[in-house]
Structure 1
Amino acid sequence: MEFILYLVLILFFTKIAGHLSVRLGQPSVLGKLIVGIILGPAVLGWVESTEFIHYISEIGVLLLMFMAGLETDLKQLQQNWKAAFSVAIAGIVLPFIGAYGVAELFGLTQNSALFMGVLFSATSVSITVQVLKDMDKLNTREGTTILGAAVVDDVLVVILLAVMMSFMGTGEEISLGLLVGKKILFFGIIIVVGWLVVPKFMKLLSMLKVTEPIITVALIVCFAFSYFADLMGMAGIIGAFAAGIAISQTNFKHVVETKIEPIAYSIFVPVFFVSIGLNVSFEGVGAQLGFVLVLTIVAILTKMIGGALGARLTGFNNRSSMSIGAGMISRGEVALIIASTGLQAGLLLPEYFTSVILVVIVTTLVAPPILKLFFKESAKTIINRNDKDFHQSF
């Protein structure tokens, strides 16, 4: 029954920490992430990263991205696809160069340096989604651009990683054509199924004389899309996000949204936030402190500047561009998965694994306050401009 104790500790302390974060003017998610570090092996050691925690957190991040899809304005997303591509590409190129340069500076091998570039090109917006939801900014032009860019980023980074592993002889022979074909096939099937099948499937099964048929069917769609995404070499969160968008186009959107949220936030999402902090360990980091500090600064700045540059090139003003760049900073669970893959393939040296994980966690921790700061400043700029226009009209 030890897992029950873990749940008690996680649920209690995440709520307290989230409340304190809000009182201090920070996003609630920041407190929840810090709780994971405090409760985990890095500090108190009260909660361990068990298989149970892993599975609950996996469901948590899928539900979080599913709800993001439900709340996304599809028309807004379609209108901003150019900006999303621009943000994703610039947000890959700069971090790749930056991380590669840091690895070279500290004497890592050529293969390891290239892998570092790919690793820190990744983006995970699961944390960003929570911050945007808290600020009611998820459905803004900036919010939908961040979400769209994250999808493009995921596809491109997975392809980059596969190409690298193929050329460096660290994995099985990988056909680039097959890899790209699977991505195209994934989006093609998801669009057709989401547009034609999901509405009819929801309507048909909603008539079942059982408890909560609509919510159950929605969860089936969410998890099925996630599994299919994973099967096609994509992150499961992309499938969950697509499932949310598909259901948002049906008449069941409001019912699903209002009933899924309590399920997600009562247990699954808090465990996901804590699970990120549980990966932190300070063992052996002292000898690589310079490497960790330099890589952290470069990882944060290159992703933010790259994303902002991509946004600026597609018509966003300076403040909005920086807000979008800030939304791309977090590497989160996507980078953790890539790091583990690189370790197994011999692209990431074992002695650097802990330091790299720590940098990934730090990028995830700093993303919420930076994101809130820029969105707040952006809102102030709009208000001041409106006030100026109002006074000039008289």
Structure 2
Amino acid sequence: MNDFFPITNPVVVFALVAVIILLAPIVMGRMRMPGMIGLLLAGAILGPNALGVLERDQSFVLFGTVGLLYIMFTAALEIDLAILKRYSVHSVVFGLVTFAIPQGLGMLVAYYVLGFAWPAAILLASMFASHTLLTYPIVSRLGLTRNQAVTTAVGGTIVTDTLALLVLAVIAGMTRGEVDESFAWQLGLSLTLYVAAILIGLPLLARWFFRRVARDGVAEFVFVLATVFGCAALSHVAGSEPIVGAFLGGLALNRLIPHNSTLMNRIQFTGDALFIPFFLLSVGMLLDLSVFAGGARAWLVAICMLATVLVAKWLAAETTRPLLGYSLDQARVVFGLSVPQAAATLAATIVGFEIGLFDDTVVNGAIVMILVTCFWAPIVVDRHGRNLVQAEAGLAAEAPVAKQRILVACSTESSARPLIDLAILMRDPAQAQPVYALNVVEDGDDAVRGVAAAERMLDALVPQLSAAGVPAQPVTRIDLNTAAGILRARRELHARKVIVGWRKRSIGTEFFFGSMVEQLLQDGQYLLIASRLREPLNTCKRIVIALPPHVENEDGFIDGMRTLGHLARQLGVGMLILCETAHEAGVQRRLKALRPAIEFKLQPIAAWSGVLRALSELARKDQLMVFVGVRPGGYAWRTSLGTLPERVSRLSPDLNMLVFYLPEMNEPDDLA
């Protein structure tokens, strides 16, 4: 077999890896086990220390490293920053606990049981303190990324990994004789500048790029890859590790890449299909059972290391129950997220071996520790994560939400694309409803030709929805006029939200509210959203909402504000709500009752007549201005709303603006 293995032909290697990536999750799924365990097993069986079919060459190391950084990057990208901010103390507390317990227990075991000197014992303990978010793809697949316990574990990762890597830097510097009086100052200054450059500079660069350069998905995707891996590559200059740079890069881009956007879908697809499976295969290839034939010392070191990391991480996760008020399943998910060892563990092992603090037994023990924790953690997260999903589903069943169907009126391809982006961000993926792209052809002699042109235009828009993983349903209607066609299609499709665009140029009162909008308002059973978008939505920093008096008493108020809350979460921005002082308490009471909860800040104004002055002070192109109103004749109807958006637009021509016309009544929920 040595004549055939390991396989060196790159085409055959990639074909075999593709088959493994395809079959491993399928086989594990039949056994009710996470798919990543199949990839780890495949790497161990086919790797150089078993059958020798595949060699852990430079390509596996390269793609494996990229996969590890991808996990850290996507974990930071999917964090709900509002939840992280709300529970930031939880993340810091857990980060300190999951560092202190393994570090302290590890030092005692290494010094008193294994007989290491204190420098080696401290470095060995730092390996137990760090962890890798290997199982994060599981919680992402289960839809638990916004769970409080998951956010705490992810936020705590950067705390404990940074502290563990600082221990590594200090011990390595002491052993090499590099530590002097200026060492701590240089390290602290370089890390501070590094973190500030990423968290402050990268968002500014990304906003400029998305606004001025990127107009297609390929450019956006390549820009994200280049900046994130650039941040990771510069980590060594700051005395840190690439995983920290990738995580910080994800945090910096979090607000600029909406969770349900086309760009996010491309990022997740590339990682799940290629980079992360390569990382799992490369980790599996590290297993070498032959090292235990060397004597009892190898067994003692490996067993002590494995037992210490499991006990220490379990104790750290268990402290979240009394300390942070988590349930049993939440604590187990935290344990499953924080116990896998990989990146920082390998870094400390290699450095410790090179400077002479560790011998072969520690290297082999670290590999065993990595393999066992990487096999065990996915089982724990999958089992208890499913329990959390069932618990959250039970809570959701207590407060059912009407079916969401979004209809987008498309006149031309260029004007429809920002409307499609808005529909993608407003859509709730949990309901699995398609987005309907509608084009109305006015009846006449050229109707047949118009239908053919409309179908070609809609076919060009469908890939935009498909690229974001959103089911698309193109619809063409022939009618007497555009408004009549939209209303008929809405009733036939039972659409709950209709998005229309404003013409760039018009005259008089038709600049924003022409006869078409007036006709659309005659049907009061849906939410009408009139949109004028000048800048990419992902570059906005805040949503400013103008609420006229008494609008909080309208039947459709909850539906409209829930939609805006979902949009704000997708964009990762806050909501500033302007309302009359006399209605502040009523608005706050109704918004506080929303589920899921939304983050908002109220800015009261003395009277509605002063709303233009308040809006003029906030009108900047990085704001999304939303005017909430009702149909004419409604309780909260104001004649000033018809001219208010036009007057604000004159102050800031590049301002993104939406007008929400709240529904007057709801259709039955059982409509298909």
Would you say same fold, with TM above 0.5?
yes
1:268 to 2:278 alignment: no
**Distance in 2 between the 1:218 and 1:186 partners?**
18
Do the aligned partners of 1:14 and 1:35 also contact (CA within 8 Å) in 2? Answer: no
Identical pairs, percent:
19
- Kindly state the Cα deviation for residue 202 of structure 1 after the two structures are TM-superposed: 2.6
One-letter amino acid of the counterpart of residue 253, structure 2: I
Q: Who is 2:363 aligned against?
A: 353
- Kindly state the Cα deviation for residue 102 of structure 1 after the two structures are TM-superposed: 3.0
- Spell out the pairing of 1:101-140 with structure 2 (5 A cutoff): 101-103=108-110, 104-125=112-133, 127-140=134-147
CA 1:242–1:42 in structure 2 vs 1: closer, same or farther (change >3 Å)? same
CA 1:69–1:331 in structure 2 vs 1: closer, same or farther (change >3 Å)? same
1:27-57 per-position Cα deviation (integer Å, ceiling 9, x unaligned): 2111111111111123211111111211122
- If asked which structure has higher relative contact order (CA below 8 Å, sep 6+), I would say 1
1:283 to 2:272 alignment: no
Do the aligned partners of 2:340 and 2:373 also contact (CA within 8 Å) in 1? Answer: yes
Q: Which moved more, 1:151-160 or 1:354-363?
A: 354-363
**Distance in 1 between the 2:79 and 2:14 partners?**
31
Which of 224, 247, 250 is the equivalent residue of 2:253?
247
- Kindly state the Cα deviation for residue 92 of structure 1 after the two structures are TM-superposed: 1.4
Q: Who is 2:349 aligned against?
A: 339
**Distance in 2 between the 1:241 and 1:70 partners?**
8
Do the aligned partners of 1:11 and 1:270 also contact (CA within 8 Å) in 2? Answer: no
- Kindly state the Cα deviation for residue 274 of structure 1 after the two structures are TM-superposed: 0.5
**Distance in 2 between the 1:136 and 1:198 partners?**
27
- Kindly state the Cα deviation for residue 314 of structure 1 after the two structures are TM-superposed: 3.0
CA 1:216–1:380 in structure 2 vs 1: closer, same or farther (change >3 Å)? closer
- Kindly state the Cα deviation for residue 382 of structure 1 after the two structures are TM-superposed: 6.1
Structure 2 unaligned blocks of 5 or more = 1-7, 399-672
Do the aligned partners of 1:57 and 1:268 also contact (CA within 8 Å) in 2? Answer: yes
SS at match of 2:291: coil
1:315 to 2:325 alignment: yes
SS at match of 1:285: helix
1:315-360 per-position Cα deviation (integer Å, ceiling 9, x unaligned): 3334323321331001112211211011111121234321222112
1:366 to 2:376 alignment: yes
Do the aligned partners of 1:29 and 1:368 also contact (CA within 8 Å) in 2? Answer: yes
Do the aligned partners of 1:84 and 1:149 also contact (CA within 8 Å) in 2? Answer: yes
Structure 1 unaligned blocks of 5 or more = 389-394
Q: Who is 1:43 aligned against?
A: 50
- Kindly state the Cα deviation for residue 262 of structure 1 after the two structures are TM-superposed: 3.0
**Distance in 1 between the 2:334 and 2:311 partners?**
13
One-letter amino acid of the counterpart of residue 242, structure 2: G
**Distance in 1 between the 2:352 and 2:154 partners?**
26
**Distance in 2 between the 1:369 and 1:341 partners?**
31
Q: Who is 2:152 aligned against?
A: 145
- Kindly state the Cα deviation for residue 255 of structure 1 after the two structures are TM-superposed: 2.2
SS at match of 2:153: helix
CA 1:226–1:281 in structure 2 vs 1: closer, same or farther (change >3 Å)? same
One-letter amino acid of the counterpart of residue 98, structure 1: L
Q: Who is 2:484 aligned against?
A: none
CA 1:94–1:86 in structure 2 vs 1: closer, same or farther (change >3 Å)? same
SS at match of 1:316: coil
**Distance in 2 between the 1:230 and 1:5 partners?**
35
**Distance in 2 between the 1:251 and 1:65 partners?**
16
1:324 to 2:334 alignment: yes
**Distance in 1 between the 2:263 and 2:393 partners?**
34
1:96 to 2:99 alignment: no
Do the aligned partners of 1:92 and 1:122 also contact (CA within 8 Å) in 2? Answer: yes
Which of 199, 206, 210 is the equivalent residue of 1:202?
210
**Distance in 2 between the 1:49 and 1:364 partners?**
18
- Kindly state the Cα deviation for residue 379 of structure 1 after the two structures are TM-superposed: 4.7
Do the aligned partners of 1:91 and 1:310 also contact (CA within 8 Å) in 2? Answer: no
1:235 to 2:241 alignment: yes
One-letter amino acid of the counterpart of residue 329, structure 1: V
**Distance in 1 between the 2:152 and 2:344 partners?**
19
One-letter amino acid of the counterpart of residue 293, structure 1: I
CA 1:46–1:171 in structure 2 vs 1: closer, same or farther (change >3 Å)? farther
1:97-123 per-position Cα deviation (integer Å, ceiling 9, x unaligned): 332333231333433322211111111
- Kindly state the Cα deviation for residue 193 of structure 1 after the two structures are TM-superposed: 1.6
**Distance in 1 between the 2:102 and 2:78 partners?**
30
**Distance in 2 between the 1:352 and 1:274 partners?**
22
Higher strand share: 2
Which of 10, 18, 31 is the equivalent residue of 1:11?
18
Do the aligned partners of 1:339 and 1:353 also contact (CA within 8 Å) in 2? Answer: yes
One-letter amino acid of the counterpart of residue 300, structure 1: L
SS at match of 2:203: helix
- Kindly state the Cα deviation for residue 206 of structure 1 after the two structures are TM-superposed: 0.4
RMSD: 2.6
CA 1:263–1:186 in structure 2 vs 1: closer, same or farther (change >3 Å)? same
1:159-208 per-position Cα deviation (integer Å, ceiling 9, x unaligned): 122222334x3353361222222222222222212332221123222048
SS at match of 1:137: coil
Q: Who is 2:220 aligned against?
A: 214
One-letter amino acid of the counterpart of residue 380, structure 2: I
CA 1:262–1:320 in structure 2 vs 1: closer, same or farther (change >3 Å)? closer
Do the aligned partners of 2:47 and 2:284 also contact (CA within 8 Å) in 1? Answer: yes
Do the aligned partners of 1:308 and 1:323 also contact (CA within 8 Å) in 2? Answer: no
CA 1:237–1:291 in structure 2 vs 1: closer, same or farther (change >3 Å)? closer
Q: Decide which structure has the larger Cα Rg and report it.
A: 2
Do the aligned partners of 2:102 and 2:129 also contact (CA within 8 Å) in 1? Answer: yes
TM-score (normalised: structure 1): 0.88
Do the aligned partners of 1:285 and 1:355 also contact (CA within 8 Å) in 2? Answer: no
TM-score (normalised: structure 2): 0.53
- Kindly state the Cα deviation for residue 380 of structure 1 after the two structures are TM-superposed: 5.4
**Distance in 1 between the 2:302 and 2:126 partners?**
17
